[in-house]
Structure 1
Amino acid sequence: MPAQSAEQLWKDFNETTDTNGASYQTRWFGEQNNPTQVQALTDAILSGAKTATTTPLDTYTAEQVAIPQVGDYNVLLDGNMKPVAVLKTVVSELIPFYRISGEHAYHEGDGDGTIGDWRKRKTEEFTPALEDHGLSLTPDTPMVSEVFELVYRAD
């Protein structure tokens, strides 16, 4: 039975492991106002098809959100903003856009899994957001490249 709240899911997870007093943040992937997209990305994570993500550094700066750090825990929310799992950040690197590897692109679980398709998709995704902040996407735009692992499921 899924947890009723992020706090309860975190408590349930802590009963199965020693997190040494670690804390958590709630997190979802995709646009919160697009529950179908959020659910599709959540499903990809729960199935193991998605184990990585990339975000322009400027997005974190503009939104005043902390950059993921190795060892961070996140309670994953689904398309209904309900907690379904706990993720742990295992890699967090700052890499220029055109230095993101084909392996990382594959682990993002989008499109056909190739670096060419990834670059096309991410250019379409990142360009408007960066332009909203008066910036542009270039080959050298710093990206936060993150790898996470699913460490606990609510079901």
Structure 2
Amino acid sequence: MTSDSHADTPNADLASLRKAEFGFPGSLRDRLVAAILDGSKTSTTGLVADYEHEGDPLPEVGSRSVVVDSDDRPVAVIETTSLRVVPLAEVDLAHVFDEGEGDADVAEWRANHEKFWHSPEMRAAMDDPAFTVDDTTPTVLERFRLVTDLRSAD
């Protein structure tokens, strides 16, 4: 259900949308954005602690966000279709597969996500050099749909 036109989200409206940044700028973000644009990534996982640290509300079903690339350029508009907050230990295989990151099972997904969440970049972003997650860490499981591919707007 991708719109090839910009009628759903005129450029003037982009500034009013929440910015969706997947990972940190660089190869990971480039890979995640490509997966959103090709339709293989339809879910993502965040941490309640990250939203709280940034002072951002959780996304709401029906809310739209503008996805930015590593150069902070708007490349897509996505719409949240469902949202669940669950402990890290309860992330399910369907969510893992819908993240479109190639993980074969929940254990592989968790190892890859913990590597990200325990990275120096994430710990710096959280202002906590010892930041860590465990089975009880509240996660934000967001499903979304691609509404508009903005790349052809240039």
TM-score computed with the length of structure 1 as normaliser? 0.77
In structure 1, the partner of 2:148 is: 152
Give the RMSD, CA atoms, in angstroms. 2.3
CA deviation profile, 1:46-81 (whole Å, cap 9, x unmatched): 011111111111111112122111111011112222
Q: Given that residues 63 and 80 in structure 2 are in contact (C-alpha distance below 8 angstroms), is that contact kept between their aligned partners in structure 1?
A: yes
Q: Given that residues 37 and 79 in structure 1 are in contact (C-alpha distance below 8 angstroms), is that contact kept between their aligned partners in structure 2?
A: no
Summarize the Cα distance change of 1:141–1:133 in structure 2 as closer, same or farther, 3 Å threshold.
Answer: farther
Q: Given that residues 96 and 103 in structure 2 are in contact (C-alpha distance below 8 angstroms), is that contact kept between their aligned partners in structure 1?
A: no
Q: Tell me the SS of whatever aligns to 1:69.
A: coil
Q: How does 1:1-155 map to 2 (within 5 A)?
A: 12-14=7-9, 23-32=16-25, 34=26, 36-128=27-119, 129=122, 132=128, 135-154=131-150, 155=152
Q: Report the Cα distance in structure 1 between the residues aligned to 2:129 and 2:48, rounded to whole angstroms.
A: 12
The alpha carbon displacement at 1:135 in A equals 4.9
Structure 1: segments with no counterpart, 5+ residues: 1-10, 16-22
Q: Given that residues 88 and 136 in structure 2 are in contact (C-alpha distance below 8 angstroms), is that contact kept between their aligned partners in structure 1?
A: yes
The alpha carbon displacement at 1:133 in A equals 6.9
Q: Report the Cα distance in structure 1 between the residues aligned to 2:142 and 2:132, rounded to whole angstroms.
A: 21
Q: Given that residues 62 and 133 in structure 1 are in contact (C-alpha distance below 8 angstroms), is that contact kept between their aligned partners in structure 2?
A: no
Does 1 or 2 have the higher relative contact order (CA < 8 Å, sep 6+)?
A: 2
Q: Percent identity?
A: 29
Runs ≥4 residues deviating over 6 A = none
TM-score computed with the length of structure 2 as normaliser? 0.78
